[in-house]
Structure 1
Amino acid sequence: MLAINVEMVPRIKIMGFIAYKSPWLHFKRNINEYVLYFIRSGELHLKEEDKHYVLRKGDMLILEPNMDHEGTEKHVCDYYYIHFEHPDIKSLQIEDMIALADYFIASHDQSPFTQHKPPMADIHPYGCYFPKYHTISDKTRFNQALHAMNEMLQLYKRRHYNRSLTALRFTQLLIELSRENFIDELQRNDRFRSKSIVKVNALLDYIHQNYQNKITGSDIELAFESNYDYLNRAFKKATGQSISRYINTVRINQAKELIETTPLSVGEIGYLTGLNDPFHFSKVFKKYVGMSPTQYFKLIRESD
């Protein structure tokens, strides 16, 4: 497992696509940068130090710096490659992948104003964790990865800011791959049913994208084509909270952030967080924070 701090953007050294129509053997080298390979078709046989890999369609591998790697067999192969550097990336041994996956998919809401408690030591709440070697077997995901690679190639060929734009899209791809890998881990575990965890993950995204608006049970049923009670049970099993409580938690966390960082009035903040009625906003805020929005505003200003 590799961990990368996505608050820092990687430096793209070189990117490209190669199609070998005749059997080809990768040359031996040792370089001071990471190299990502994504196989479109054919086979690429490699070893890194003493570890052997046979890469086929949909396989992705990241080679690490200052390690010998070379081809072991000749084969026809089409693949994308990205050479990159990053100041904060490291290799980790994760003992409990399910706990890590559960944390990032179901528990972690990415808000800087929430106290995060990662399930194990050395886990950064804003890190991106993905396997060194990964297979994208699903046809839809494979096509999405191809699209992302081709997008990056087009960005890389631009005259201006090409490496910077490519690096941003590359970071997005790593985040997407990380989340997909965690979802796969949860689907393989008995605690989570495959369809329900996918829907819970989609529902979490839906809530974060729509909390400013009124969200009803009917809205959720329509968006996810599922019974609300079923979704609520699956959601609570995965996150430990009901859907309605989670929605209010997101709204109140955002309200706290706005109180702490803007001069907006309490009424405006309630409107921006989906709690339009001032009395209802104050009631919900006090239930979750232990004081009214006005009291919290005064507390923050006094501490400044």
Structure 2
Amino acid sequence: MITDVYLTADRFPLVRDVGYHRVEGTYAHHDRTLDFDVFFYVVEGNMQVIEEGREFFVQEGEHLFLRKGLHHWGEPFFTPGTSWYWIHFDTPASNVAALNEYEPLQGLGAYFPDHYAYHIRLPKHGSSPWHLSLRQLLDAIIHKFREPEANAMTLVSIEAYALFLQLNKAMLGSRNSGRSDAISKQVMAYLAEHADRPFDSEVLGRHLNLNYSYLSSVFRRETGQSIIEAHTKLRLNKAIELMRGTDLNIAEIGERLGFHNPFYFSRVFKKILGSSPTEYRKRFY
């Protein structure tokens, strides 16, 4: 059963309600099934929540996401004096399974069609050093929620989305510190430095002193793309920079990047970006 809450990169969640609560005596979480997702952040004390039979004890400084449509409840285990923030929100309807699970690669500055075609799995439960700033951010969201102003709910939803993205980054950042992640970053750094020339797998392997097949496997597992795909996009980034900043024609730009056949350069460009270099250049002005 899927209990994680997912966002998509192209649409923000719509906040229904946001607030803060404190209990002085014994308290049990409501027994209910909601048609929206829930975010909790415990400031003091602790709370117990059971979601479809899975028990969570949320301690001070920890958060929890509850998925809409799942039955959740609690027993009277709240510590007196427990306080928490909550955000109730609707996630955009989409076929999450059809979207990429990987974010666009860092360093791809130009727009590519798949930049927003991915989903974001929010960290179900836990904490990180970044959580120390959550209370101030949530107070600001509540203040905006209660203040009558134009576009208030949209602004609240955007700020909640930003908070969730930062939370996701903080939690994943503490986990993605292993060897595979480090290797992928080294590969990307090399590709970015050599984006103005054709790719050579043997040179990359020697540079990192690792077998290329191993590098390729690790990179795809970490990024969802092949090394050659990433290198091609970085080369096209360079091409777009030259289109914007020089008067070089398309053939000259391709030549500078190691595409000695202008027709091949145009074909690769259109395959990745959906239009020819000439058509793409016309959009700048």
TM above 0.5, yes or no, is yes
TM-score range, shorter chain: 0.5 to 0.7
User: In the alignment, residue 130 of structure 1 is paired with which amino acid?
Assistant: L
Judging changes above 3 Å, is the alpha-carbon distance between structure 1 residues 74 and 146 closer, same or farther for their aligned structure 2 residues?
A: closer
TM-score, normalised on structure 1? 0.60
Q: Partner residue of 2:103?
A: 104
Contact 1:28 1:71 in 2 (8 A): yes
Deviation at 1:35, TM superposition (A): 1.2
- Aligned partner (choices 81, 103, 121) of residue 86 of structure 2: 81
Judging changes above 3 Å, is the alpha-carbon distance between structure 1 residues 68 and 113 closer, same or farther for their aligned structure 2 residues?
A: closer
> 1:35 aligned to 2:38?
yes
Q: Partner residue of 2:153?
A: 163
In the TM superposition, structure 1's runs of 4+ consecutive aligned residues that sit over 4 Å from their partners are: 89-92, 105-112, 236-241, 243-249, 279-282, 298-301
> 1:296 aligned to 2:283?
no
1: distance between equivalents of 2:15 and 2:279? 47
Deviation at 1:38, TM superposition (A): 1.2
Q: Partner residue of 2:121?
A: 129
Judging changes above 3 Å, is the alpha-carbon distance between structure 1 residues 278 and 13 closer, same or farther for their aligned structure 2 residues?
A: same
Judging changes above 3 Å, is the alpha-carbon distance between structure 1 residues 89 and 22 closer, same or farther for their aligned structure 2 residues?
A: farther
Residue ranges of structure 1 left out of the alignment (5+ in a row): 93-98, 117-123, 208-214, 216-231, 256-266
2: distance between equivalents of 1:7 and 1:56? 32
Q: Secondary structure at the match of 1:66?
A: coil
> 1:181 aligned to 2:181?
no
User: In the alignment, residue 85 of structure 1 is paired with which amino acid?
Assistant: D
More displaced stretch, 8-17 vs 142-151: 142-151
User: In the alignment, residue 41 of structure 1 is paired with which amino acid?
Assistant: E
Deviation at 1:167, TM superposition (A): 0.6
Q: Secondary structure at the match of 1:125?
A: coil
Judging changes above 3 Å, is the alpha-carbon distance between structure 1 residues 47 and 111 closer, same or farther for their aligned structure 2 residues?
A: farther
Judging changes above 3 Å, is the alpha-carbon distance between structure 1 residues 157 and 90 closer, same or farther for their aligned structure 2 residues?
A: farther
TM-score, normalised on structure 2? 0.63
2: distance between equivalents of 1:2 and 1:81? 15
Deviation at 1:157, TM superposition (A): 1.9
Deviation at 1:77, TM superposition (A): 1.5
1: distance between equivalents of 2:23 and 2:146? 21
Q: CA RMSD in A?
A: 4.6
Deviation at 1:80, TM superposition (A): 0.8
2: distance between equivalents of 1:79 and 1:23? 15
Residue ranges of structure 2 left out of the alignment (5+ in a row): 194-206, 209-215, 270-275
Q: Partner residue of 1:148?
A: 137
Judging changes above 3 Å, is the alpha-carbon distance between structure 1 residues 136 and 74 closer, same or farther for their aligned structure 2 residues?
A: closer
